[in-house]
Amino acid sequence: MVISFTKLVALLILFSTGILSSCAEFKEAGRTIGHTTINVTREIGHGTRDAAKEIGHGTRRVVNSIGEETKGSEKPLSDDEQ
C-alpha cells in the first residue's frame, strides 16, 4: 500500500510540474501576442493620424489658394451677367 501511495504522489508531482510549465508557456505566448497587438495598433493609429493631418494641410492649401485667386479679381459675375 505504501508503494502505490508513493507512486501516486510521484505521479501527481510529475503531472503538476508538467501543467505548471505549460501554463508558463501559455502565459508567455499571451504576453507576446498582447505586446504585438499593442505595437501594431499604435502604428496604425499613428499612420491614420499622420494621413489625416496631411489631408487637412492639403485642404487648407487649396482653400487658401482659391481665396488668393478671388482676392485679386473683381467681383464675380452673377448668372445674369455671364
- Which is more confident, 79 or 15? 15
The pTM for the full model equals 0.51
SS3 sequence of the chain: CHHHHHHHHHHHHHHHHHHHHHHHHHHHHHHHHHHHHHHHHHHHHHHHHHHHHHHHHHHHHHHHHHHHHHHHCCCCCCCCCC
CB 47 within 8 A of CB 53: no
Instruction: Say how far apart CA 62 and CA 13 lie, in whole Å.
Output: 74
pLDDT tens, residue by residue, 20-49: 677 778 888 899 999 999 999 999 999 999
